[in-house]
Chains A and B, each alone.
Chain A
């Protein structure tokens, strides 16, 4: 059992580069936290501070009630998987996995037991005598995982462990790490800039930008209710569509003057929130823009004629690139339709599922709809 509290943590390099700012997070036992964000947003820095490889400039890192700020890495009982695996090239796979246990003066039999067990879990039994250079990328990755597993540490840290693998292997290892987590239940903090990894692996996602947390939540919550336009645009692929415009008389009017009527409850809520009139940004996921079907019960569709710019068949679905007025949009529609460039289609916007953001700050307007979801 482990409980981790990160309180107001900041990191400043060389007095003026602030890599992490006022980071607050509580990590529960068994959590699989994914730190995600664009390059340079401070994910690795945060992870390295937890590991003890980087000093914490400000704030507190508490683990099981103990302040860890000044505890050296070797006494933290934290295992880390590095991006380039960091396997010891002169040691066999077995010795690589046994290193930490040897350093901690475990008995030979115990070491053997643990390494063998980890090797079995990871399918590395046949490679124990090999040196890392004689392994494929995926196998090396497994050894790196094995090295962490044998320690039975309180916390796993992983910094973009899959970024050196090709797409297929990455997909496979992603599933494998998830499986491993389900089995071992070791609390994990995982860093990636790949939102798909974040969505598929995390119990909770932490989205960062410029060293500041933008949102923390379960993948589905983050996807369905992004706190701001940055999160909306970062999570989900293809990204959320954003249209600038304004609200007036219960309608959203795009910058080009196209009118999309709002559902009654939404219009009311916006008025209540003080946005009954004035500029807002509308955000809508590609799957909520469809070729106009008859509206089902409870749906509130606004339909607009649009020109097909490109339609891309990705397999099970088609991505339709078009425009709402002058603003670009992507719709995700059922494939099987043969849409030609230049053709006019009628696209329906599911206004019930659309989000509205403050035009200036980009923060999502809280219209009461997430009450049902957030715990």
Chain B
């Protein structure tokens, strides 16, 4: 074998093509377009948040100026302190947390248990019953608002947290559906093996069902946290006593009959939003999974 030196090798003349005609070039161009589009989308989505932030640090005067400013003249961070002190927000936080935690617990465990039954326990009329459960999703919430109110009134539950918390312990069609889909992916053999090893359905659900459906449970937990934390209508309807107010109700102190203190309202709203944002950062994966499940993808 004769070794060819680099110099001896005939030089391949590169055909002159523009950068965008090469494969890498095209890929790069696509990347750039992608990033630009994504950035534009993000800015669009973030702009309300920015507007909230900006408004929250303005003076009331600046809030009212026209044309509005997108960069405040001064950053009045003290607005936040004033906001917090304007009402017993510490108490409201505790109240909201109490409700939210109970709702999350109810939703996670009860729906999971029901879903296990629909997926893994054969019984007569199971499919019909499941269809009925699903059909409750078709009823708009507002239709049942008044009958529900009457019901809770008759139970003497007005001005308590029962109407806000107890329903979470009776299952919700969407969560049942979502969790059932997950249970269907667990092989029956696993359940049968556990049965033969002496476990009852309750134990199988507890020891095998719950751990194996963790991702779906996280999704359910996050969605119900969100729902309960942000619920305004529920507390508004059922809670009168100011000591029982939630954060969402508390924020209303800034909305007067005559004028609204937009800067404090925005500061308060941002503070209340904070846990949700933090939650989103930590559990993004499950949020997206939940949305995918809703849209039928996987």
Contact = CB atoms under 8 A, between A and B. Distances in A.
Given A89-B212, A90-B212, A103-B203, A84 B187 contact: yes
Contacts of B187: 84, 86
A249 to B, nearest CB: 60
A313 B200 CA distance: 56
Nearest to B190: A86
B192 interface: yes
B211 A73 contact: no
Contacts of A171: none
B12 interface: no
Contacts of A364: none
B194 A80 contact: no
Contact of B197 (A52, A53, A89, A100): A100
Interface in B189-211: 189-190, 192-200, 203, 207-208, 211
Contact of B198 (A82, A88, A90, A103): A103
Given A86-B187, A90-B212, A80 B193 contact: yes
A103 to B, nearest CB: 4
A262 interface: no
Contacts of A104: 198
A209 interface: no
A104 B203 CA distance: 12
Give the interface residue-count category, chain A: 20 to 34
Nearest to A144: B193
A24 to B, nearest CB: 24
Contacts of B193: 80, 82, 86, 88, 147
A79 interface: yes
Contacts of B207: 99
Contacts of B200: 74
A353 interface: no
A73 B212 contact: no
A99 B192 contact: no
Nearest to A95: B207
Interface string A96-107: 000110011000
Contacts of A86: 187, 189-190, 192-193
Contact of A80 (B196, B203, B212): B196
Interface in B153-195: 187, 189-190, 192-195
Contacts of B212: 89-90
Contacts of B194: 88, 99
B208 A88 contact: yes
B192 A74 contact: no
A51 interface: yes
Nearest to B211: A90
Contact of B196 (A79, A88, A90): A79
A103 B197 contact: yes
30 contacts: A51-B196, A53-B192, A53-B196, A72-B195, A73-B195, A73-B196, A74-B198, A74-B200, A80-B196, A82-B189, A82-B192, A86-B187, A86-B189, A86-B192, A86-B193, A88-B190, A88-B193, A88-B194, A88-B208, A90-B211, A99-B194, A99-B207, A100-B198, A103-B197, A103-B198, A103-B199, A103-B203, A147-B193, A147-B197, A151-B197
Given A78-B196, A79-B197, 12 more contacts: A53-B196, A73-B195, A74-B197, A74-B199, A79-B196, A80-B196, A84-B187, A100-B198, A103-B198, A103-B203, A147-B197, A151-B197
